[in-house]
Amino acid sequence: MSSPIPGTRKTPTSLRWRIVLWMTAVVFLTLGSVVLITRSVLYTEATQTANAAVEQEIEEFRRFSAEGIDPTTARAFESSHRLIEVYLSRQIPDESEAIVGIFPGELVQVDFSQLNGAHPPPLEHSEALIQEIIGSTANSGVFADPTRGATHWGKVSFLSDGNSAEGIFLVAYFAESDKEQVDSHIRTLILIGLGGLLASTLIAWIIAGQIIAPIRKLRVVASEINDSDLTRRVPVQGRDEIAQLASTFNSMLDRIEAAYKEQRQFVDDAGHELRTPITVVRGQLELMDTATPEEQARSIQLATTELDRMARMVNDLLTLAVADSGKFIHPAPTDVTELTIDIEDKARTISDRITLVDAAEGVVDLDEERITEAVLELYGNALRYSEGAVDLGSDFRGRDSQRVFRIWVRDKGPGIEEAQQQALFNRFSRGPRTPDPTHKSGAGLGLSIVQAIAQAHGGAAFVNSTPGLGSIFGLEIPAPTTAPTPVHNPDRKKDEK
């Protein structure tokens, strides 16, 4: 029974729900901010309206008292009490206002509440608001009345009759109704916001479903892929990021399917190639008991030859496996003139049919051991499939960043048809040429190794062949004009010997 991986969540969270929750959270914060800002603005406007109403009444009273003319006598007011009475008789306050003259033991005011019921009832001398105003040294303020609510007030103090007592002109604005109206607006806005929040959640659910629908298709396709069926693909619709993801996923499946087919073909070919020497060795061993000494010696020789061929095949397969892993070459700045001459020396130990016809001059960043291995493999093929001298050469083609280093082997064999040339570098592929009967045919992996070495250097193997005139096999390796400084090893030839 497998244990859960540490750090992973046991219960998967739906991507759709996560999108919905995030979108809902954003809408909720937006609506909440709108409600708070609207409430603050409306309360500020209500406060400014109350303060403006109080200031306006105070200013009007100041102008009226400054004139000081009693309309009845056309002379200055005889008393402050008369001044307040005349002023109040000419004023109709707003529905939330109260204008009062406060004298010792008396309040002078007009009762407008009987008109339409919208004006507040008259103030009483014993009310907390009156006591607060009388006792306050400030000329204005806001009082939280327990019965009338928040009240904005302003007052003007003056001397009463005979300058013996102080009177107060009071303007009170009861802002509770305005604030209740603000609260009502806010409640309505909250209800509308909740409706919008629910609608946005529903829309987010629908949009999230449309967004992740291609991802669900991708998951379904991925879950249906197995070893026996790699042909399923995700439908691609549109040109957005989801469509690009589906296209990328399909491209990945194409590569996996191609690699899987190549692997299966490789395993089948390797099994077929290894089965032949195993069968030969088994057959020769079965004949050993009844064979004559001469036949036994012949059987041992044949079995040993097949085992050597199988060993070479296994080594080639291991080389290709290392090449596929990506850790195949170790390039270093190399003098290609010395490299070409060294390869000629090594090739001559195999056969003296080698002839050096050209050697490039310059420095290339490459793995000289792998390049030597590839060229010697090409030289061995040339010996196997041709007679006469085999030419070896190297040169540069192109300029600047397009320059490439070429090293090649040329034979005078029967040549290869153009339609068959490209398949030569496939694994377990043998050329159509008739090899020298004195040489054993290989497993068809040599040119695949040459191609792997060239590709590991960022280049490619190539073949130019004309039937009846011979063939040229070689490698092309990128070699920009700005080359690294070569690393000379004076003891290299001594070590090779």
The pLDDT of residue 378 is above 50: yes
Please choose, from the candidates 173, 181, 170, 142, the residue with its C-alpha nearest in 3D space to the C-alpha of residue 52: 173
Count CA atoms closer than 13 A to 115's CA, side-chain side.
12
Q: How far is CA 389 from CA 88, 376, 382, 411, 421, in A?
A: 133, 15, 9, 7, 22
Q: pLDDT band at 4, cuts 50/70/90?
A: very low
What pLDDT digit, counting tens, does each position of 165-180 carry?
578 899 999 988 888 8
Angle, to 10 degrees, between the axis of helix 368-385 and the axis of helix 336-350?
40
What pLDDT digit, counting tens, does each position of 397-428 carry?
988 888 999 999 999 888 888 777 777 777 65
What pLDDT digit, counting tens, does each position of 239-255 carry?
877 788 888 888 888 88
End-to-end CA distance of the chain: 59
What does pLDDT average to over the chain? Answer: 81
- The per-residue pLDDT for 341 is 94
Name beta bridge partners: 69.
76
- The per-residue pLDDT for 52 is 92
Q: Which has the minimum average pLDDT: 195-204, 462-471, 481-490?
A: 481-490
- The per-residue pLDDT for 482 is 62
The set of residues, in sequence order, having a beta carbon less than 8 Å from that of 322 and lying 6+ positions away, is 328
Count CA atoms closer than 13 A to 245's CA, side-chain side.
12
Contact 453, 475 (CB under 8 A): yes
- The token pair at 127 is 């009310």
Identify which has the larger pLDDT, 420 or 204.
Answer: 204
- The per-residue pLDDT for 356 is 94
Q: pLDDT band at 442, cuts 50/70/90?
A: low
Name beta bridge partners: 155.
170
Label residue 112 exposed, middle or buried (CB < 10 Å: 0-12, 13-18, 19+): buried
Integer Cα distance of 266 and 372 in angstroms: 26
- The per-residue pLDDT for 428 is 59
CATH topology of domain 250-321: Helix Hairpins (1.10.287)
Contact 214, 243 (CB under 8 A): yes
Integer Cα distance of 422 and 429 in angstroms: 10
- The per-residue pLDDT for 247 is 85
Integer Cα distance of 234 and 254 in angstroms: 12
- The token pair at 433 is 């040429």
Please choose, from the candidates 104, 123, 105, the residue with its C-alpha nearest in 3D space to the C-alpha of residue 113: 123
- The per-residue pLDDT for 468 is 83
- The per-residue pLDDT for 96 is 85
- The token pair at 272 is 């077929």
Identify which has the larger pLDDT, 126 or 6.
Answer: 126
Please choose, from the candidates 322, 333, 326, 407, the residue with its C-alpha nearest in 3D space to the C-alpha of residue 366: 333
Q: Provide the edge-to-edge strand list for the sheet that holds 404-411.
A: 354-358, 390-397, 404-411, 470-478, 460-466
Classify the C-alpha dihedral 66-67-73-76 as positive or negative. Answer: positive
Q: pLDDT band at 272, cuts 50/70/90?
A: low
- The per-residue pLDDT for 117 is 63
- How much of the chain, in percent, has pLDDT values that exceed 90? 27
Taking residues 370-374, what's their average pLDDT?
Answer: 89
Does the domain at 329-496 match CATH 3.90.550.10? Answer given as no
Contact 384, 434 (CB under 8 A): no
Integer Cα distance of 256 and 128 in angstroms: 88
The pLDDT of residue 211 is above 60: yes
- The token pair at 430 is 């043998």
Label residue 388 exposed, middle or buried (CB < 10 Å: 0-12, 13-18, 19+): exposed
